[in-house]
Chain A
Amino acid sequence: MELIKLTIDNRAVEVEKGTTVFHAAKKLGIEIPTLCYMNLADLNIEHKPGGCRVCVVEVEGRRNLAPSCATECNEGMVVKTNSMRVLNSRRTVLELILSDHPFDCLICAKSGYCDLQNMAIKMGVRSIPYQGEKSTYKPDFSPAIIREMDKCIMCRRCETMCNDFQTVGVLSGINRGFEAVVAPAFERDLDHSECTYCGQCVAVCPTGALTEVDHTPQVIRALADPTKTVVVQTAPAVRAALGEEFGLEPGTLVTGKLAAALRRLGFDYVFDTDFAADLTIMEEGSELLDRLGRFLGGDKSVKLPMLTSCCPGWVNFFEYNFPDMLDVPSTARSPQQMFGSIAKSYFADKIAVDRKEMVVVSIMPCVAKKFEASREEFKVDGNPDVDFSISTRELAALIKGANIDFNTLPDEDFDKPLGESTGAGVIFGVTGGVIEAAVRTAYELHTKKTLEKVDFKQLRGLEGIRSASVDFDGVEIKIGIAHGLGNARKLLEDIKAGKSEFHAIEIMACPSGCIGGGGQPLHHGDSSILKARSKAIYTEDELKVLRKSHENPYIIKLYDEFLGKPMSEKAHHLLHTHYFARKLKHIDID
């Protein structure tokens, strides 16, 4: 390892060869402002197009200012990060960006969270000396994401997520000069592209150019309607991140306060998607055992590996990209949809409410779940199983708007019966968690023995693709795990080529799984936040008395009273689904 010495703002620093000036300065505690640069180090995503030039510094002996995020340190370099020339240039760059930006801050969904706004505040911009034409684009409203390209600053972070990390390839920079913008092919709407609605572009967009569709007004209306019974479910990953919106340390578990806040907001029943996650395990785990059993019994027509299907971003991805492999994923619906289906049948019957008078709201870390909730398969006579799916961020806005002091709320429990869950349901929120939960149950159902140790540490971690094997009493079960659709694609290509050795594969579209979902509090490029959330999820699992889905007493009761057994006809009807080949061609789109 070669070391390099240089001086930044009159202070000496030594760094490894290849380090950028930005990182060298950081080592000295000097935070050079950036706008287009993004570094998700734990996920190996570094985006440094060197485009915005907000991060410029003066390098002695060079005529032009250099973008520190994309300039490597040299031996003996003398750098100034705050000279008059640097400050002036930085301000000019910012003013030019602002001169082609709508002044919508008062009504913008990103207001208060926007990197551009924060930069203007930090630099104390009070007027824009440049007047010129502003670019205007038609806003694009899809079922889950809104694109308002008037607010795009061409940092191109979204492209990196969509193309390099997710390999979905929906977004690309198009046109040139003043007209340059990021858009889907032929400037179609997202709805007419192969977008998976994973929301990772939304998660990294520094401005309000990409936001989720806001469903909070509909939720408020439902809550205010006395004729409606409003039932809420909240996904595992939400409790590990919501606190950040209220200034709590990343990784603070707020499960009890979350339940209390939902009750204060006026939901009639405060339930937990973790319950439905336990249910998912019963169905998905049984399906896996069924496929495995038949396979080991010599039936070669059985599709293996079986892939998990609880991530709607992933479901969209394989429907578009692997239309010839639709029989590989499990047919089990996602926990969100299982919950909706059971709430509007079993539970509605129990409390004698017509499904049309019941409104199911879900709180999700996810943008794709909005789209999933709107799918036709998940409606009965036009009435959706899940009426509104809102993100963790939208929930925070609801809580703030209702004058609830979140941090002083007492810890409360979820309601019964659909609020009871095991540790297995909790870990659904993090990469590796779904398959670990499935293994805990499948193992016991298969071997009829009690697990000595429920923690399968070999399934955990943040590597993009992981593999492990679990001993099912003499039968070795090989498991693959991928998070991020680019990683998923690799595993899928292997299956296609007949090279896959796995029996089961878990896939989540978002980096680190749902805890890094497109609807979570913004991480602003700090991936240590994702690690903290992951830790919180495993802590909650450990704190649970019950940690295996099939031990959840309310799940047992649900099967006894209503469903019969896993994979029964009724279970198939209410808890399973089918997939569609959705390859898009221009000629077919109007």
Chain B
Amino acid sequence: MTSVKLKLKENDVKKIQEICKSFNNEPGELINVLHKTQEYFGYLPAEVQEEVAEGLGISVAKVYGVVTFYSFFTMLPKGRYPISVCTGTACYVRGAEKVLDEFKRILKVAVGETTPDGKYSITCLRCVGACGLAPVVMVGDKTYGRVTTDGVKDILKEYENE
């Protein structure tokens, strides 16, 4: 997994310690602690995972193991407009991959990455339950259905001046 370097501020470290403490520094609460921590930071860079490990008294490798096992944890900051392309079966057979490729081509970033200006990030989603609208793309909370490769440009245009 690619990652970014981050020097944690004193406040950040304190926050992580607080979160761990609110779960009694219980190693068994790792997943919940990571959820809360990701809610706060938006993502889970290596330095944050090291603090969580310290807080729960477990190895960093274990924390990293859990972060990489569950797809809802991410080690990269999301863009201001996070783009999620559903790659569930229905969307996939109706061309989700081509749509995804088009986003990657235009924004010049890979899945899991964020554009250098911090505006867009691309992730894949498992089925969002809107198979009737396949292929489905989400930008933030907004859902777009039956997206075609040509439609990708139009979607991005909506956010052009923001």
Contact = CB atoms under 8 A, between A and B. Distances in A.
Interface of A: 163, 168-176, 183-187, 193, 585-587
Given A187-B1, A585-B47, A587-B6, A175 B68 contact: yes
B65 A174 contact: yes
Given A172-B59, A172-B64, A587-B6, A185 B49 contact: yes
B46 A172 contact: no
A23 to B, nearest CB: 30
Contacts of B58: 169
Nearest to B8: A587
A551 to B, nearest CB: 46
Contact of B61 (A175, A176, A185, A587): A185
A184 B68 CA distance: 12
Please indicate which of the listed interface residues B5, B49, B59, B62 has the most CB atoms of chain A within 10 Å of its own CB. Answer: B59
Interface in B6-64: 6-7, 46-47, 49-50, 58-64
A186 B69 contact: no
A169 B59 contact: yes
| Interface size range on B against A | 10 to 19
B89 interface: no
Contacts of A173: 65, 69
Given A172-B59, A185-B60, A186-B46, A586 B5 contact: yes
Contacts of A170: 59, 61
B63 A186 contact: no
A428 to B, nearest CB: 31
A186 B62 contact: no
Interface in B54-96: 58-65, 68-69
Contacts of B60: 169, 185-186
26 contacts: A163-B62, A168-B59, A169-B58, A169-B60, A170-B59, A170-B61, A172-B61, A174-B64, A174-B65, A174-B68, A175-B68, A175-B69, A176-B68, A176-B69, A183-B61, A184-B61, A185-B49, A185-B61, A186-B1, A186-B46, A186-B60, A186-B64, A586-B5, A586-B47, A587-B6, A587-B47
Contacts of B6: 587
Contacts of A184: 61
B143 interface: no
A322 to B, nearest CB: 15
Given A585-B47, A586-B50, A587-B7, A169 B61 contact: yes
Contact of B3 (A168, A176, A186): A186
Nearest to B60: A185
B44 to A, nearest CB: 11
Given A586-B46, A586-B47, A185 B5 contact: no
Nearest to B49: A185
Nearest to B45: A586
Contacts of B63: 185
Contacts of A187: 1
A157 to B, nearest CB: 16
B11 to A, nearest CB: 16
A170 B61 CA distance: 6
A274 B59 CA distance: 37
Given A172-B65, A173-B65, A174-B65, A163 B50 contact: no
B67 to A, nearest CB: 8
B2 to A, nearest CB: 10
Contacts of B68: 174-176
A186 B53 CA distance: 13
A585 B50 contact: yes
B69 A171 contact: no
Interface in B131-155: none
A385 to B, nearest CB: 33
A321 to B, nearest CB: 11
A406 B45 CA distance: 55
A163 B59 contact: yes
Nearest to A183: B61
The 6 tightest CB contacts between A and B, nearest first, are A169-B59, A172-B61, A172-B65, A586-B46, A185-B60, A185-B61
Contacts of A185: 46, 49, 59-61, 63-64
A176 B68 CA distance: 8
A175 B49 CA distance: 16
Contacts of A186: 1, 3, 46, 60, 64
Nearest to A193: B61
Contacts of B5: 586-587
A170 B65 CA distance: 11
Contacts of B65: 172-174
B137 to A, nearest CB: 24
Please indicate which of the listed interface residues B3, B6, B62, B65 has the most CB atoms of chain A within 10 Å of its own CB. Answer: B65
A190 to B, nearest CB: 11
A193 B3 CA distance: 17
B64 A169 contact: no
B118 to A, nearest CB: 21
Contacts of B69: 173-176
A585 to B, nearest CB: 7
